[in-house]
Amino acid sequence: MATDQLSAQDWLDFGLKVLAKSGFTALKAEPLAKAMGVSRGSFYWHFADIGAFHAAILEHWREVAAEQVIASLDAASAEADPLLLLLQRAFTGRRALEKAVRSWAAADVSARVAVQAIDRRRVDYIERLLAARGPAPDVARARAQILYWTFVGFALSEEALPEKRLPALLDELMRVAIDERAGDAPSCAVLRE
């Protein structure tokens, strides 16, 4: 990448790669510039300081990891089930970036706020997909949260999911997500007292 004509987007795309590979502590102007074959001046041309870069990285992560995903699912053909497509994508995608951002959030308030915002955005989207299937709003919300927690647990897990087990996992997640019989289960109201 030896060029002084790097755009802010080039820096952000490279920053996400570095974040996924080396963690948030590697997001520093000098080592990034060296890895990209340019001077630090190129970095400071686009970002006032490292804090501004970090904020832009978190916003870029939101765009890549939520907004682009949601837009592609919303644009999918009418024959495709967006919930199934989302689950396939979530459980077959790379997890390194998700792990890195969540690790960053454990150590930094700004990253934590960004993660909390994307968590809300993602759960709201899953809830919308589920609500379109007709369950009561509280059921759709609970199922959305369960699916999302399943994804987060998977994303943070060190254990890889064998490809041959993926279809059974997706079938079970879809069954849990859309099983209307779940409303027949005993109430947990006792737990709220």
Give the pLDDT confidence score for residue 158 in this predicted structure: 86
188: left (phi over 0), alpha (psi -120 to 50) or beta: alpha
Hey, where are the domains in the chain?
Answer: 8-183
Tell me which residue of 43, 41, 46 sits closest to 27, measured CA to CA.
43
For the full predicted model, state whether its pTM sits above 0.95.
Answer: no
Task: Measure the CA–CA gap between 21 and 101, rounded to whole angstroms.
Answer: 11
Instruction: Name the helix (H) or strand (E) containing 21.
Output: helix 8-22
Q: Which fold has domain 8-183?
A: Tetracycline Repressor; domain 2 (1.10.357)
Give the pLDDT confidence score for residue 190 in this predicted structure: 39
Provide the greatest CA pair distance for the chain: 64
- 172 vs 79: which has the higher pLDDT: 172
pLDDT per residue over 129-171, tens digit each? 999 988 899 999 999 999 999 999 999 998 888 889 989 989 9
Give the pLDDT confidence score for residue 176 in this predicted structure: 86
**Rounded mean pLDDT, 170-193:** 62
* pLDDT score of 32 more than 70: yes
